[in-house]
Amino acid sequence: MFKYFEPSKIFSITSKAPKYVLFLFIIILSIGLTEALVLSPEDYKQSHSVRIMYVHVPAAWISLGVFSSMTLLSVIGYIFKIKNFFLISKSLAPSGLVFNIIALVTGSIWGKPTWGTWWAWDARITSMLILSLFFIIYLVAWRIYENNDKIFKVTTIITILGIINVPIIKYSVDWWNTLHQPASINILSKSSIHISMLFPLIIMTAAFALFSLLIFLMKYNTELIKIKNKGLDRL
């Protein structure tokens, strides 16, 4: 089992993976965009601005998922002293931040024609902004403590503090009066998005997940090469 954590062994797999992921990403994205921009119907109330949702919602989901995975990896990595988990977590962060920003920007673009404002300090939007700050703090921490063993403690603490925000983001729309609408998709009950609009949403989520994986693999490979250059054959 521990043999598997040898950087060169991992690298031999992860260095080949990006091209396949990229290929799959392009296929899924083109299906998703065709569905979202051309084939799916307009909304009865907001007409074509509904199409922004196909970017906005998957981006928000992925950024929340990425932060949760980072926390899980950091905490397990910290408890069991697995250095590799920290590298995975570090490599995940950039794509999470990018999708977080995409969610904020597209939400703003959608907000202007529908709500009548670019920005509102409601609980959902503000908590999402706080999440992006946590991503930034996390990435800056890696820059500051680059060659210091403190980094493992520091980043674990940052993710633990940040993870509290994740359920707040999720339930902010139920707990308080917000301008942002409540969730349309619920695992337990019928979703309030019509099936013809749900389909492109799911495809776009898959495409964004693949993009996230692609960026992760590129970042992770860079980390592995760095370790190789230092002459360490074990993490």
Partner 1 sequence: MYGRKVKLRFFFVSLILITVVLSVFLIIKSLEENVVFFKSPTEIKALSEIDEKKIRIGGMVKKDSISIISKEINFIVTDFKNEINVVYSGVVPNLFSEEKGVVAEGYLKDKNFFLATKILAKHDENYMPPEVKAAIEEN
Interacting residue ranges for partner 1, rule: CB under 8 A: 41-46, 50, 53, 75, 78-80, 113-117, 120-123, 156-157, 160-161, 163-164, 168, 176-179, 181-184, 192-194, 196-197
Query: Is the CB of 115 or the CB of 145 nearer to partner 1?
Result: 115
- Residue pair 64/95 in contact by the 8 Å Cβ criterion: no
Smallest gap from residue 223 Cβ to partner 1 (A): 23
Whose Cβ is closer to partner 1: residue 24's or residue 82's? 82
Buried b (16+ CB within 10 A) or exposed e, 144-180: eeeeeeebbebbbebbeebbebbebbeebbeeeebbb
CB of 205 to partner 1, least distance (A): 15
Q: What angle do CA 163, 169, 170 make, to 5 degrees?
A: 100
* Least distance between partner 1 and beta carbon 46 (Å): 7
Shortest Å, Cβ 77 to partner 1: 11
Tally of CA atoms within 13 A in the half-sphere of 141 that contains its CB? 21
CA–CA distance, 157 with 235 (Å, rounded to integer): 21
Instruction: Please tell me the total number of residues recorded for the chain in this structure.
Output: 235
Complex with partner 1: residue 105 or 161, whichever CB lies closer:
161
Which residue's CB is nearer to partner 1, number 2 or number 121?
A: 121
